[in-house]
């Protein structure tokens, strides 16, 4: 039976870009977060003369190289697809926000150069601190790479730094274009969630190994160290998440209104959790928290929150973004609970952080964290619709009209499948062949 469909280049361009971003964000998050943990572990190891932490840094850096390699491929694919699938957007971006795009590439090369030096100079220096210093540019470069690309995304959400008249961009100020009001909260959120996610992923590896019977001190220290860091970044993430909601209320009220199904501008606005939206825009089965949206938006229960009635319906984001946001917040609640339970058990005099149920929760926290990252980016991009550059260019206007985007979608899907399987197999074999117990035994000799 032949499968028939209507070819829509805009739809296939969106699917392909979503597929690439969804796959790339996994490796990009690891690329931003893991260098910080490598550096902290090596610093603790040097400071305490503790080989367990040195070995943590060494083993994490081996796995990190694999994720960087895959991230390079997917990052290159994003650059290729931006030019091929979104030519009109790239024309606007080239006029206004090209500077951080260039600086992101420079930051990556800066990171890659020092990462190579760092990896090939283990045990080459009498003073271990010299080797640690080589990692600082890697941490800075990976963070800067995330910052610059987030600046571009911030511009897409709230463009500034130019004059827009008669469908033309003039008087461009490249520096001012990088100063979108969305920048502070978006950059802070991207960095803290990357550090949180990587902490939970590394903690899950240690918890899984311990639960499987590998009871070395190495795994106990890894679990405790990564979960304490995760708890700190969880607190930061919650605070910045609240500030992000307040940013939306002021600068992107239509996105907040669509997310919370707030159809009429009003004071004392309630917050709706869950629910099912009806055809007449009423909500069934939802939990309504009185004054909740006003408090979330302005920290004032009587504050007025702009509703969707202030915007043309064709400029509304898809209202199913509410479900994405609720799922995201549900996942965040799970991570808060897991990290909080771990810290309670750690602080209690009789607490046991190595209990089976707690180890299982820590292992579960890793996929939960990754799903939260995916949901967060879906919410960010879908919530901006129908704009690719808010108020300037719609997604339809920015997309290509070329043929064969569907073929590209299939090819890249196969590529990402191969990359995923290959990276998992390489990482698994790498750590199976280099067991912790064997490396500890070599050190003791």
Range of the domain at 367: 223-251+253-383
Both 234 and 377 in one domain: the answer is: yes
Whether 190 is in a domain gets the answer: no
Q: What is the pLDDT of residues 241-275, one digit of tens each?
A: 999 999 999 999 999 999 999 999 999 999 999 88
Segment 128-135 mean pLDDT: 90
For residue 79, pLDDT beyond 60: yes
Residue 49 belongs to some domain of the structure: yes
For residue 15, what pLDDT band results from cuts at 50, 70 and 90? very high
- pTM score, two decimals? 0.93
Query: What was the pLDDT predicted at 169?
Result: 80
Residues 299 and 329 in one domain: yes
Residues 6+ apart with CB under 8 A from 360: 207, 211
Please state the φ and ψ torsions of residue 317, each to the nearest 5 degrees. -70, 155
- Determine whether 56 is exposed, middle or buried from the number of CB atoms within 10 Å of its CB (0-12, 13-18, 19+): buried
Residue 195 in domain: no
The reply to whether omega before 192 is within 30° of 0 (cis) is no
373 and 398 in a single domain? The answer is no
Taking 70 as the threshold, does the pLDDT of residue 230 lie above it?
yes
Does residue 444 register a pLDDT over 70? no
Q: Is residue 198 included in any domain, yes or no?
A: no
The backbone torsions φ and ψ at residue 275, rounded to the nearest 5 degrees and listed phi first, read 90, 170
Q: Domain check: are 397 and 286 in the same one?
A: no
Query: Does 159 lie in the same domain as 93?
Result: yes
Residue 1 has pLDDT above 50, yes or no: no
Q: Are residues 155 and 121 in the same domain?
A: yes
Examine residue 189 and state whether it is found in any structural domain, yes or no. Answer: no
Q: Is position 278 within any domain? A: yes
Place of tokens 């991230």: 71
Alpha carbons 69 and 56: distance in angstroms, whole number: 20
Please indicate, yes or no, whether residues 346 and 294 belong to a single structural domain of this protein: yes
pLDDT > 90? residue 443: no
Is the same domain home to 139 and 262?
Answer: no
- Give 242's contacts (C-beta < 8 A, 6+ positions apart): 296
Structural domains of the chain, count: 2
73 and 157 share one domain: yes
On the 0-12 / 13-18 / 19+ scale of CB atoms within 10 A, 376 is: buried
Which pair of tokens denotes residue 427? 């990482």
Bridge partners of residue 70, in order along the sequence: none
Q: Are residues 414 and 305 in the same domain?
A: no
Domain-ending residue, one of 357, 383, 409: 383
213, part of any domain: no
Residues 357 and 233 both lie in one domain: yes
Sign, CA torsion 118/122/124/128: positive
Tell me, yes or no, whether 202 lies in a domain. no
**Alpha carbon distance 278, 313 (integer Å):** 16
Q: Any idea which of 114-128, 145-159, 330-344 has the lowest mean pLDDT?
A: 114-128
Q: CB count, 10 Å around CB of 295?
A: 18
Please count the other Cβ atoms lying within 10 Å of the Cβ belonging to residue 126.
6
- Average pLDDT of 196-221? 89
113 and 56 within one domain: yes
DSSP 390: T
């Amino acid at each position: 039976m032949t499968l028939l469909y209507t070819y829509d280049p805009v739809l296939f361009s969106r699917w392909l870009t979503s597929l690439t971003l969804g796959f790339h964000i996994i490796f990009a998050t690891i690329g931003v977060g893991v260098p910080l943990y490598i550096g902290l572990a090596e610093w603790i190891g040097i400071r305490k003369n503790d080989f367990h932490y040195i070995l943590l840094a060494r083993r994490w850096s081996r796995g990190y190289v694999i994720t960087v390699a895959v991230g390079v491929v997917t990052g290159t694919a994003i650059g290729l697809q931006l030019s091929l699938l979104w030519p009109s957007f790239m024309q606007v971006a080239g006029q206004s926000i090209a500077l951080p795009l260039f600086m992101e590439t420079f930051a990556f090369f800066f990171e890659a150069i020092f990462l190579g030096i760092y990896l090939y100079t283990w045990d080459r220096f009498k003073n271990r601190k010299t080797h640690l210093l080589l990692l600082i540019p890697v941490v800075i470069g990976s963070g800067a790479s995330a910052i610059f690309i987030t600046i571009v995304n911030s511009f897409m959400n709230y463009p500034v730094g130019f004059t827009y008249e008669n469908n033309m961009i003039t008087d461009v100020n490249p520096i001012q274009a990088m100063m979108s009001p969305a920048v502070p909260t978006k950059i802070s959120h991207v960095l803290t969630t990357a550090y949180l996610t990587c902490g939970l992923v590394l903690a899950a590896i240690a918890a899984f190994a311990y639960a499987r019977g590998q009871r070395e001190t190495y795994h106990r220290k890894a679990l405790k160290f990564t979960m304490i860091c995760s708890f700190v970044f969880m607190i930061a993430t919650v605070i910045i998440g609240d500030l992000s909601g307040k940013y939306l209320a002021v600068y992107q009220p239509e996105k907040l209104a669509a997310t919370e199904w707030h159809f009429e501008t009003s004071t004392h606005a309630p917050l709706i959790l869950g629910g099912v939206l009806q055809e007449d825009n009423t909500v069934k089965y939802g939990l309504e928290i009185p004054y909740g949206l006003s408090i979330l938006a302005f920290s004032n229960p009587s504050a007025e929150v702009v509703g969707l009635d202030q915007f043309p319906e064709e400029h509304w984001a898809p209202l199913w973004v509410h479900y994405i946001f609720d799922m995201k917040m549900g996942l965040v609640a799970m991570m808060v609970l897991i990290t909080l339970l771990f810290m309670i058990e750690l602080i209690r005099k009789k607490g046991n952080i190595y209990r089976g149920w707690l180890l299982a929760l820590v292992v579960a926290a890793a996929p939960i964290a990754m799903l939260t990252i995916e949901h967060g980016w879906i919410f960010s991009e879908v919530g901006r619709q129908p704009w690719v550059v808010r108020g300037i260019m719609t997604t339809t206007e920015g997309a290509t009209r070329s043929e064969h985007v569907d073929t590209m979608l299939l090819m890249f899907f196969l590529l990402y499948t191969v990359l995923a399987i290959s990276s998992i197999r390489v990482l698994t074999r790498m750590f199976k062949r280099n067991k912790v117990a064997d490396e500890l035994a070599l050190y003791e000799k």
